[in-house]
Structure 1
Amino acid sequence: MQSSIDETLSASGSETVSAQRPSGWGELLGGRNGVYALALAGGVTLHAVNMYVATTVMPSVVADIGGLDFYAWTTTLFVVASILGAALTARLLNSAGPRGAYIVATILFAAGTLVASLASNMPVMLAGRSLQGLGGGFLYALAYGLTRIVLPERLWGRMIGLISAMWGVATLVGPAIGGIFAEYGAWRAGFWSLLPVSGLFAVLALTTLPRASAHRNERSAIPVPQLVLLTAAVLAVSAGSLSPETLWQLTGLAAALLMIGLIAAIETRATARLLPKRSFTLATPLGALYLVIALLMLGMQPEVFVPYLLQQLHGQSPLWAGYLAALMSIGWTAATLLSARWQEKSGARLIVAGPALTLAGLVLLAIFLPAHGGGSWPLLAPICLGLVLIGFGIGLAWPSIVTRVYQNAPATEQDLAAGGMTTVQLFAIAFGTASAGMVANVAGIATPGGLAGASHAALWLAVVFAAAPAFAIAVAFKVVRLTGRTS
């Protein structure tokens, strides 16, 4: 097989092309590489499964310890802490090294899980969820950052595909685990069950990961102003989404956008940064790549309302609606595993094709989801296809995008670039979820509600969020021009 060619831009703008020998899943999953893959993918799985377990058991938690008024904040604070963890990953790697960073992340996650499992009131639960989020954010960002450190470049694409596939696994496994514990009134055991797995991965990291990285990275101070603004932006958009008033929702979104603008202004002059240099401009490969990541994450956010809409408009049971909505994650998982192979010859095409398929999926949802189907397959089939295409498009482009981030980040800011991907991804999800809530409310999902409200919401969610992958196609062409036409 013809070996893949990696193009990176040097500081002077010239291209360095190097041939690499073929790689396969056997090379990634065998020997020491397989142990590394297990540790990194396992940490992501732990974080992802926990999200779905916690979401599933939380009604039982509230019924037991109270705190219904703070129900939404169990997710909000978890997301905020995850974003902070991702943003601080480069600093943690520089301070503790690969092995130490992974162990710290796992201990934080386990500590949060233990606190949540022992919670006797909602404030304690919120503290536990925050610790879980911080540790989980570290684990997720470290999976990308350590991929570059412990694996050869020819395996990056496959490892990124494996990391992404773990979210699809968690989508299917997490709700089932949480549902079993919730059904038997043992929500605490839902959290306890994650502790032995956390210990296993901590031991695995201690015995296999390198103590230090061979890569030299800049040591900089923590970007305190940017982190404060980033936290405030997430809280603003989350708080706005909790209000039934459109004015407050718009205010939260506007405040978040303003604070992101302030972060961009600070980053241009700061020595301590959230993202690598010039990441807030489309004139650079990193700026364009990060924007594609954000737009793809925005494009999938109608998923939040898909289970409800399938129940209301297409007569599906809660269980079937949930699993049909999971088709988006299944599509993502399948595409990342396939594209890890395809990107060896067609990485540039995948970056453009991915947003195009996501856009096609949203168009199908705009046409068929608003109809009153009553469970008929002539309507459900294209809806299912649309859900698969949305996830498939994102997964198709993902390994090539992440690989290009590694290739185009300055040599002294590789850890910052890896953590930045997760920071951008998680913030875009938080922002998109709040925006989806606003669009659905304005479209009438609650008032007038019923079939008419659900139908209008389905249409406008698909139409409004289709703008994100449409814009991503244009940015993807720019990425190809800036980074080269091969993987």
Structure 2
Amino acid sequence: MEHLAYKRKVTIMIAIMAAMLFAAVNQTIVGTALPRIIAELGGIQYFSWVFTIFMLASSITAILVGKLSDIYGRKPFILVGIGIFSVGSLLAGFSNDIFQLIACRGVQGLGGGLIMSTAFAAVGDLFAPRERGRWQGLMSSVFGLASVFGPTLGGWIVDNANWHWVFWVFLPFGIVAFVLILVLFPNVEKKAGEKVDYAGSLFLTTTITPLLLAFSWAGSKYDWASVQIIGLFVATIASLIVFIVVENKVKSPVLPLHLFRNPIFSLSNIIGFILGAGMFGAAMYIPFFIQGVIGRSATASGFIMMPMTFGMVIASTLGGQFISKTGKYKILALAGLLVMSAGMFSLAFMDLNTTITHVIVSNIFIGVGLGMSFPVFTLTIQNAVEQRFLGVATASAQLFRQIGGTVGVALMGTIMNLRMEHETKEVTSEMGASMMNNPMLAKIVQKLDPQILMNHDGLEKLKDSIPSQLAPAFAKIMDSMRDVLSYGLTGVYFIAAFVVLAGFLLTFFLKEIPLRSSQPADEKQKKEKQQAM
């Protein structure tokens, strides 16, 4: 589709980014609105499934549609994705209980996976590799904007209107994007001789699903050594073995295993996995420090996190321009991962005396580093494979980042809990001896849980119930709890910094293939790819 007029390409990209914004905002808008939704629908014990089901559904459809879009073209799948996502959003707003909401979020996830996978692959269809950097950066900035405005808008809607509008407010975006893509996006003929790999698709699904569930539940719902978690890992390994056997036999595999023999493809996905683990694993816990240790409100926490997102948006946009202008991307990835690692290390040295300025500056480092490096590894993968594998290669990049994020959140959460548990025992032991003379304080010490620091209303009620003469002792207990929470969280940031640093070191081994200025590969480019494999 490189032959299309540039103006038409830009219009198509605007439509694609509108579809991505539609999907991304619907992901981020739910977070701040969910407590109010749960208060009305009930089922707080199932609330995590509102996020888990979306992640599962989107991960599976993203990787499965990669190969299908290589066969049938991107247009039908992005249209179907927008349609499914719109239906899921509409029905979610009509939910009468938590189970209906979870089911509708699953439908949204199916559509979201289709949209995200085909959107990034479409960039490769429309533009030569040299031009893709600019558009990959702009598309990455869409996620940043969604992260800024989604939570804020979600909170505003539930405070000032009916929560149902959380799911309905952006439906016009989906409709406009659907019409634009339907009219402007060219049709592509089905590739001759290609068949759908149903068996591979099935066993890939049965590999991904238990793996993501295991890391989502381990350390929170079930112990790591529990029968449930071990069983899920066993099911993952068994399905993976069968999947590899099937993929080596079929003519048109859903995920061609020979792609992993290309060191650029494999290394880029490994770094993408590491980047996802470090980013999601640590960024998710920054609000815990702001609200629990520093004591700011959830709204203030959102504003404090904004500079990180703006840093990511600006860096990804400028980074894309740099790639398109120079054709260089490795130096950008190295610089981004190093800056991001520095931001993580800065967070690892926070304590009770840390200022908001320290947090904001560290977050800006993380956001800028993320914006510089995140889009690069999709570009390296697209540049290292043949055009006919563009869709499945792009989908693999998304899958590895998603799995990395899931693994990162689980492992970082376990690290935080273990450190907090150890520190809480020491603090309780020290305080228990000095405060056992007062039954009220002794009871509080015995039931110490740093999670109460995130519940500011509950903390105020507890504080009001304490007699004034015991207020200094109670304040000392709360400071100790902040120390415990800070100890747990800084350990998370320290590990995350080393995880990102590992990605930085691996990037040195990534071979940089010059970005082509035209879509078809010339003989020199083919030779370079063969040498890289």
TM-score range, shorter chain: 0.7 to 0.9
Over the aligned positions, Cα root-mean-square deviation in angstroms equals: 2.9
Alignment of 1:418-457 (within 5 A): 418-444=394-420, 448=424, 449=450, 450-457=481-488
Q: From 356, 362, 365, give the equivalent of 2:344.
A: 362
Task: Give SS of 1:333's match.
Answer: helix
Alignment of 1:138-157 (within 5 A): 138-157=114-133
- CA distance in 1 between counterparts of 2:82 and 2:504 reads 37
Structure-1-length-normalised TM-score: 0.85
Q: CA deviation at 1:391?
A: 2.4
- CA distance in 1 between counterparts of 2:490 and 2:359 reads 12
Which sits farther off after the overlay, 388-397 or 289-298? 388-397
1:108-131 deviation per Cα after TM superposition (whole angstroms, max 9, x unaligned): 101111221111112211110000
- Match in the other structure for 1:65: 41
Could you tell me whether the CA contact under 8 Å between 1:267 and 1:274 is conserved in 2?
A: no
Q: Relative to structure 1, is the Cα distance of residues 218 and 404 closer, same or farther in structure 2, using a 3 angstrom cutoff?
A: farther
Could you tell me whether the CA contact under 8 Å between 1:313 and 1:372 is conserved in 2?
A: yes
Query: Any gaps of 5 or more consecutive residues in structure 2?
Result: 425-449, 451-480, 517-533
- Match in the other structure for 2:264: 285
- CA distance in 2 between counterparts of 1:280 and 1:265 reads 17
- CA distance in 2 between counterparts of 1:486 and 1:161 reads 16
Q: Relative to structure 1, is the Cα distance of residues 442 and 265 closer, same or farther in structure 2, using a 3 angstrom cutoff?
A: farther
- Match in the other structure for 1:339: 319
**Letter of the 1:231 counterpart:** T
- CA distance in 2 between counterparts of 1:174 and 1:347 reads 30
1:31 aligns with 2:7: yes
Task: Give SS of 2:197's match.
Answer: coil
- Match in the other structure for 2:299: 319
- Match in the other structure for 2:352: 372
- CA distance in 2 between counterparts of 1:69 and 1:423 reads 28
- CA distance in 2 between counterparts of 1:56 and 1:311 reads 14
Instruction: Report the identity percentage.
Output: 21
Could you tell me whether the CA contact under 8 Å between 1:178 and 1:190 is conserved in 2?
A: yes
Which sits farther off after the overlay, 315-324 or 123-132? 315-324
- CA distance in 1 between counterparts of 2:268 and 2:220 reads 31
- CA distance in 2 between counterparts of 1:460 and 1:335 reads 27
**Letter of the 1:295 counterpart:** I
Q: Flag the structure with larger Rg.
A: 2
- CA distance in 1 between counterparts of 2:74 and 2:515 reads 30
1:322-342 deviation per Cα after TM superposition (whole angstroms, max 9, x unaligned): 222343332221111111122
Q: Relative to structure 1, is the Cα distance of residues 391 and 217 closer, same or farther in structure 2, using a 3 angstrom cutoff?
A: farther
Alignment of 1:197-346 (within 5 A): 197-212=173-188, 219-222=195-198, 223=200, 224-243=202-221, 245=223, 247-248=225-226, 252=229, 256=233, 259=236, 263=240, 266-267=243-244, 270=247, 271=250, 273=253, 275-280=255-260, 284-300=263-279, 301-343=281-323, 344-345=325-326, 346=328
Q: CA deviation at 1:263?
A: 3.1
Task: Give SS of 1:110's match.
Answer: helix
- CA distance in 1 between counterparts of 2:361 and 2:191 reads 44
1:458 aligns with 2:486: no
Alignment of 1:92-171 (within 5 A): 92-94=68-70, 96-171=72-147
Q: CA deviation at 1:216?
A: 8.1
Q: CA deviation at 1:196?
A: 2.1
Q: CA deviation at 1:153?
A: 3.5
- CA distance in 2 between counterparts of 1:230 and 1:236 reads 10
Could you tell me whether the CA contact under 8 Å between 1:172 and 1:326 is conserved in 2?
A: yes
Could you tell me whether the CA contact under 8 Å between 1:99 and 1:209 is conserved in 2?
A: yes
- CA distance in 2 between counterparts of 1:132 and 1:149 reads 25
Q: Relative to structure 1, is the Cα distance of residues 217 and 310 closer, same or farther in structure 2, using a 3 angstrom cutoff?
A: farther
- Match in the other structure for 1:386: 362
Could you tell me whether the CA contact under 8 Å between 1:295 and 1:469 is conserved in 2?
A: yes
- Match in the other structure for 1:474: 505
Which sits farther off after the overlay, 461-470 or 288-297? 461-470
- CA distance in 2 between counterparts of 1:169 and 1:38 reads 15
- CA distance in 2 between counterparts of 1:42 and 1:336 reads 18
- CA distance in 1 between counterparts of 2:122 and 2:189 reads 9
Structure-2-length-normalised TM-score: 0.78
